Amino acid sequence: MLQNAPIPDLRIVPVTAVHPHEDHDTQRSQPLIERIRDAEWFTNPPIVSPMDDKHYVLLDGANRYHTFCHLGFQHILVQVAPYDSGFVELGVWQHVISRWTAQAFLDMLKQVTPIQLKQGWASHAAAQILTREGDVYAVMAASATLEQRNMALRDVVRVYQKNAALHRTVMPDPLRIWQYYPDAAAIVLFPDYHPEDIIEAARHKAFLPPGVSRHIIQGRALRLNYPIAEIKSTDKSLPVKNAELQEWLRHRLANRSVRYYAESTYQFDE
């Protein structure tokens, strides 16, 4: 069942100890707020990595974290997955822009003050834009600092979030992307990031746009169905909450209620 697989490191931590590295998606967070406010169970814990002895960078789960903050919860249940554990892979999503024209997109980007558009590829670009017609543009930030670069990215993504349909993909070949998204007008390609970039973005609140970084976690804990009342309780101390969480986990393992899937999968009911 769990042979040769890591047992998820589940902890209840102060909400204030968790630091996001990206903006939350307002379109997705509002329905989540309503759902968690009335929920009986907490299903999928956010993924965090230690920044130091008392703080964590949020790798995945920005909307769930924002929901707990919005609802005023003091604590949140997380899965701790250190970057150096060998079970975390950091990549990026590419954004496919549909139901809009590339020219309208480019015209609107030219009005965004913190960025400059340059035709062609550029090694230090904050992002690259590839149109269906084959034109390439580099998105250049006004400054090379982390804050300015990530601010430029947020401005770029905000433009097409408001005006187009956005799809995320990991397909590297533009020809395949055009094939699978026949109404797509452009692709936004993001540079590779390193764990240090993610940690610095969190530490300095220089947030990336939502849906850019992509963390693959080997042994991600899903469908916990842990009582949400135990997480948000104000009558129990944090050590007591964590002791009860560990006892709950031991009970689930002893009763063979946990199953580990080692293979990569496609899920078609999203």
Per-residue pLDDT tens digits for 68-83: 999 999 999 999 999 9
Residue 4's pLDDT band, with cuts at 50, 70 and 90, is: low
Residue range 158-166: mean pLDDT, rounded: 93
* Bridge partners of residue 138, in order along the sequence: 118, 128
- 45 Cβ contact partners less than 8 Å away, ≥ 6 residues apart: 10, 61, 64, 76, 77, 78, 79, 221, 224
Contact between 125 and 117 (Cβ < 8 Å): no
Query: Domain 10-90+215-254 belongs to what architecture?
Result: Alpha-Beta Complex (3.90)
Per-residue pLDDT tens digits for 181-232: 999 999 999 999 999 999 999 999 999 998 999 999 989 999 999 999 999 9
Q: Give the pair of three-digit tokens for residue 224.
A: 């916990």
Residue 263 CA to residue 71 CA, distance in Å, equals 36
Q: Which amino acid is at 248?
A: W
Instruction: Outline where the chain has alpha helix (H).
Output: 26-37, 62-70, 102-109, 146-163, 174-180, 195-203, 228-232, 238-254
Q: Does pTM top 0.95 for this prediction? A: no
Residue range 42-69: mean pLDDT, rounded: 94
Domain range summary for the chain, segments of one domain joined by +: 10-90+215-254, 94-189
Residue 28's pLDDT band, with cuts at 50, 70 and 90, is: low
Per-residue pLDDT tens digits for 108-158: 999 988 889 999 999 889 999 999 999 999 999 877 788 888 988 999 999
pLDDT at 1: 41
Contact between 92 and 214 (Cβ < 8 Å): yes
Residue range 156-165: mean pLDDT, rounded: 93
- Termini Cα distance of the chain: 26
Q: What is the CATH number of domain 94-189?
A: 3.30.1760
pLDDT at 5: 61
